[in-house]
Amino acid sequence: MKSESIPITNETVARVADWSTNFSFGGASADGADKLFWQQREEKYQKTDQLFVRLLLLEWAVLVIAALLVRPEKGSAQAGWIDPQLLIAVILGGSVTLPTLAVARLWPGAAITRYVVAAAQMLLSGLLIGLSGGRLVSHFHVFCSLTILSFYRDWRVLVPATMVAAADHFLRGTYWPYLPYGALTTNPWGSVEFCGSVVFQDILLGILCLHRNKEMRDTVVRTALLQEQTERLVASQRVNQLIMDKSRDVICATDPEGRFLTVSAACEALWGYTPEELIGKGWVDIVHPEDREKTRLANVEIMVGHPATNLENRCLRKDGTIVSVLWSAYWSASDSAMFQVARDITQRNEAAAVLKKTNRQLASALQANQLIMDNSQDVICTLDAKGQFLSTNAACQTLWGYHAEELIGRCYLALVCPEDRARSKQVEDSTRKGKITDFVNRCLRKDGSIVEVLWSASWSEADEILFCVAHDATESQRVEKALRDAKDAADRSNRAKSEFLSRISHELRTPLNAILGFGQLLERQNPKPTQRPHLHHIVTAGHHLLKLINEVLDISRVESEKMHLSLEPVCVGVALEEAVDLIQPLATERSVNLFTPSENEKDIFVLADHQRLKQVLINLLNNGVKYTLPHGAVMVSCKQVGERMRLAVHDTGVGIAADKLARVFTPFDRLGAEQSGIEGTGLGLALSQRLVRAMRGTIGVESLEGQGSTFWLELVRAESPLKTTPDRCSAVARPKRGGAVKHRSVLYIEDNLSNLTLIEQLLRESAGVHLLTAMQGRIGLDLARQHSPDLILLDLNLPDMPGWEVLAELQGSEATRRIPTVVVSADATEGQFKRLIDAGARNYITKPIDVTQFYQMMEETASIQEEYVGA
Ligand code: ADP
């Protein structure tokens, strides 16, 4: 049971007020009774006036008839004359009666009419007495007339009537005594006696009039009260009916067993049943089974005398849906009925449930907020439009050393170090323009120490409040600075490492240039058979050293991400053919069969750097040939795997033991091949793996010891660029092999004597080449201008000026711009190569010089020169 009662809404009040104005319950009872009394008396006077008018006319007619009946006999002395009695009856009777007609018509119910009627009535009595010759019986007419006049219930009417009767009696008794007494003499006491009788009757009739008036008044009052009560009852019934018809709540009455006796129309909206369907049914038929017991108990409580109570339960509508209902019930023992009002509170309950949930969420959100505020290490605060603290949490004490109370009302700028205030104000202004800003400034703590604060601020236009979170950034700023310093140091060290590698590379290549160059030169100069193997060792060892240097440099570059790779669609067939071409001599030498895939691969493109892909393939093919016994085979295959192309090099070689496979890509780990006598550095696969990864590919190996190995690499498949460059795959530019170097003059600018001698020796091989040499850049420039050589070979490390400056001056002068310049340098970095080509160098040859490559370059530049001269 709930103590809640159905509230009286504004709507209900308005409706009741409306009904009150529409239904009148009558006036106050006293006023109403008076009004009704006077109304009824008025009606009575008017009716009595009419009655007397008719009575007077009748009496006049009777007088005339009586006068005719008492005419003298025919033949008497008066025969032939109109009987004077008749004349008196007609004329006097008429003159008494007719004025009453006029007065009654003009003033019906008025006092004057009653008085005229009374006088006329009494005059007619006198006339009758006169005509009857004063017979005693005719005097009774006077008493009868007075009695009839009392019908007016107005005792005042008796006054003029009595006065007229008395006057008539005295006058006629005095002057015509035979008229009232039928004798010629009169008894003076007769009139007194008559008048006394009349007055006595008047008194009686007056009392009667007063009494009857009182009776009438009582009756009227009772009638008025009754009428008023009836009106109230009718109005009340109409109100009740309207309430029943219009109320949105169901109003109903049930018998002690809970059966509906009456139910208002709203039941159809609430339960889906019409009133007719419900009457006779019990509440048990509509209440939800689970709520029936509590409903029954509530009903019993009310019936045993508990005050009217409210009950909430669930009811089942006709369509089976559930509706929540609030019942207000009252038990009337006298009517033996329970009067109830039932209201649909489904929506209210739902809204209450939502509200409850929202309140719960709000409460937990508030609690969470409070927890955050209380436990946050950061200051969470709000500032007003002037930047003054409105609120702040306790963390302000840790951050700035101030209690929250000390800060409220103060401007935050007072905490900021003077030199940071202008910038802080600037950031604050931009935050107000809608940008959520994070910035760091320095603040002064209460103890004077400086703390670096990271502010996150957001401006609320609606509240005109700046919401801020202030975080102690001293440590993070320190760490950030340390990281920056560490990175700078790492960058510096990286640069130093690169410079070191470049330097070492240069320093190692320069002597190698002499070793390899002269070694190759001697090999070409028909050495004695005993010298040939020695020379071969020199050249092979030189190449081994060079390979080692190159691979170390490459690995270092890939790892420091310094290696420049130009990833583009590369024709697999071309890269493979170029690699095979280079390996084929070794395969032939070792009697290993080399099988390449069919022509189809010529149409397959992968995303790669052409040179680096070739380098990887050469390494895999080289290993395949190296680690395969004579008459074994090395096969290359190519197939598509998803979006990628898989290139694999299979060999029937020695294979790799399963326990060593995991180390196969480890730099310098030769897996025991050192003892095999097969040359190697242990860097080839390590470099290949890094290069393939740099080309967004993968590399792997499958091997069985004694049976052979398969090294594979997968690269992203690319669209063929043939549509734009149709000859890219088929017509690969190939260096021409062999052929003689055409006659020309060559200027070599180089400060290293052994290098100069080597080039001199190499060019001596080519008949007709005239070599000019300069050991300083400036001299070289002068020679170039004076002799306009066909080719300039330029070293980069010159004593007087750097080689790139010499190149720039050559390119800047009209006289020397067209002379092809080939850089010959030990600095083999890719960046250097690109820079010099961009600056105008025709080609770039790295030291140590590969003799074959040198001749090739000479041949190419000669043909270009010819084209140029021919053009
Ligand atoms: P290396 O210069 O020694 O060949 P690599 O890095 O190319 O260096 O190879 C690392 C080692 O892996 C080799 O020393 C060799 O032991 C093994 N290896 C590489 N390729 C093969 C192969 N095709 N068959 C057997 N062993 C191989």
pLDDT tops 80 at residue 688: yes
pLDDT of residue 171: 83
Of all protein residues, the one whose alpha carbon is nearest to atom 13 of ligand 1 is 670
Split at pLDDT 50, 70, 90, the class of 185 is low
Percent of the chain's residues with pLDDT above 70: 87
Q: How many helices (H) and strands (E) does the chain have?
A: 26, 22
pLDDT tops 60 at residue 733: no
Return the exposure string of 91-122: e unless at least 16 CB atoms fall within 10 Å of the residue's CB, then b. Answer: ebbeebbeebeebbeeeebbeebbbbbbbbbb
For the residues of 378-405, what is the DSSP string, one character each?
SEEEEE-TTSBEEEE-THHHHHHS--HH
Pocket test for ligand 1, best of 625, 685, 692 (most atoms within 8 A of CB): 685
CA of 667 relative to ligand 1 center, distance in Å: 11
Of all protein residues, the one whose alpha carbon is nearest to atom 8 of ligand 1 is 682
Residue 188, C-beta contacts closer than 8 angstroms, at least 6 positions apart: none
Q: How far is CA 88 from CA 68, 91, 94, 123, in A?
A: 11, 5, 9, 13
For residues 130-149, give the mean pLDDT.
81
pLDDT of residue 77: 45
Q: Among residues 114, 98, 105, 97, which one has the least CA distance to residue 45? A: 114
pLDDT of residue 857: 84
CA of 623 relative to ligand 1 center, distance in Å: 6
The more confidently predicted of residues 473 and 767 is 473
Q: Which residues pair with 392 in a beta bridge?
A: 381
The pLDDT tens digits for 689-732 are 999 999 999 999 999 999 999 999 999 998 876 554 444 444 33
CA of 307 relative to ligand 1 center, distance in Å: 104
Of all protein residues, the one whose alpha carbon is nearest to atom 15 of ligand 1 is 670
Pocket test for ligand 1, best of 627, 628, 636, 707 (most atoms within 8 A of CB): 627
Percent of the chain's residues with pLDDT above 90: 38
Exposed / middle / buried, residue 161 (Cβ in 10 Å: 0-12, 13-18, 19+): buried
Q: How far apart are CA 331 and CA 335, in angstroms?
A: 9
For residues 582-605, give the mean pLDDT.
84
Split at pLDDT 50, 70, 90, the class of 578 is confident
> 174: which 2 tokens?
């005095």
Output DSSP code: residue 88.
I
pLDDT of residue 810: 93
pLDDT tops 50 at residue 75: no
Split at pLDDT 50, 70, 90, the class of 517 is confident
- The C-alpha R_g of the chain, in whole angstroms, comes to 71
pLDDT tops 50 at residue 1: no
For residues 781-799, give the mean pLDDT.
89
Strand pairing report for 250-254 and 568-571: unpaired
The pLDDT tens digits for 817-831 are 889 999 988 776 667
pLDDT tops 50 at residue 465: yes
Q: How far apart are CA 137 and CA 132, in angstroms?
A: 9
Question: Within 6 Å (CB) of ligand 1, which residues are found?
Answer: 619, 623-624, 627, 651, 653-656, 664, 670-671, 673, 680-686, 709
For the residues of 466-513, what is the DSSP string, one character each?
EEEEEEE-HHHHHHHHHHHHHHHHHHHHHHHHHHHHHHHHHHHHHHHH
The position carrying tokens 């091989």 is 765
For the residues of 89-136, what is the DSSP string, one character each?
IIIIHHHHHHHHHHHHHHSTT-HHHHHHHHHHHHHHHHHHHHHTTS-H
For residues 643-666, give the mean pLDDT.
94
Split at pLDDT 50, 70, 90, the class of 604 is confident
Q: Over the chain, what is the mean pLDDT?
A: 84
The more confidently predicted of residues 509 and 786 is 786
Q: Which residues pair with 206 in a beta bridge?
A: none
Cβ(269)–Cβ(343) below 8 Å: no
Split at pLDDT 50, 70, 90, the class of 216 is confident
Q: How far apart are CA 820 and CA 840, in angstroms?
A: 9
Q: What's this model's pTM, rounded to 2 decimal places?
A: 0.41
The more confidently predicted of residues 250 and 29 is 250
Q: Where are the alpha helices (DSSP H) in 390-466?
A: 395-400, 404-407, 418-432
CA of 686 relative to ligand 1 center, distance in Å: 10
Split at pLDDT 50, 70, 90, the class of 291 is very high
Strand pairing report for 698-704 and 791-794: unpaired
Exposed / middle / buried, residue 15 (Cβ in 10 Å: 0-12, 13-18, 19+): middle
pLDDT tops 50 at residue 8: no
pLDDT of residue 735: 39
Determine the atom of ligand 1 nearest the C-alpha atom of 711: 23
Determine the atom of ligand 1 nearest the C-alpha atom of 674: 14
Q: How far is CA 515 from CA 114, 482, 511, 536, in A?
A: 172, 48, 6, 12
pLDDT of residue 240: 85
pLDDT of residue 187: 66
Determine the atom of ligand 1 nearest the C-alpha atom of 649: 23
Where is average pLDDT lowest: 105-119, 246-260, 500-514, 617-631?
500-514
The more confidently predicted of residues 136 and 216 is 216
pLDDT of residue 173: 76
Q: How far apart are CA 452 and CA 663, in angstroms?
A: 50
The more confidently predicted of residues 453 and 33 is 453
For residues 232-259, give the mean pLDDT.
90
CA of 670 relative to ligand 1 center, distance in Å: 6
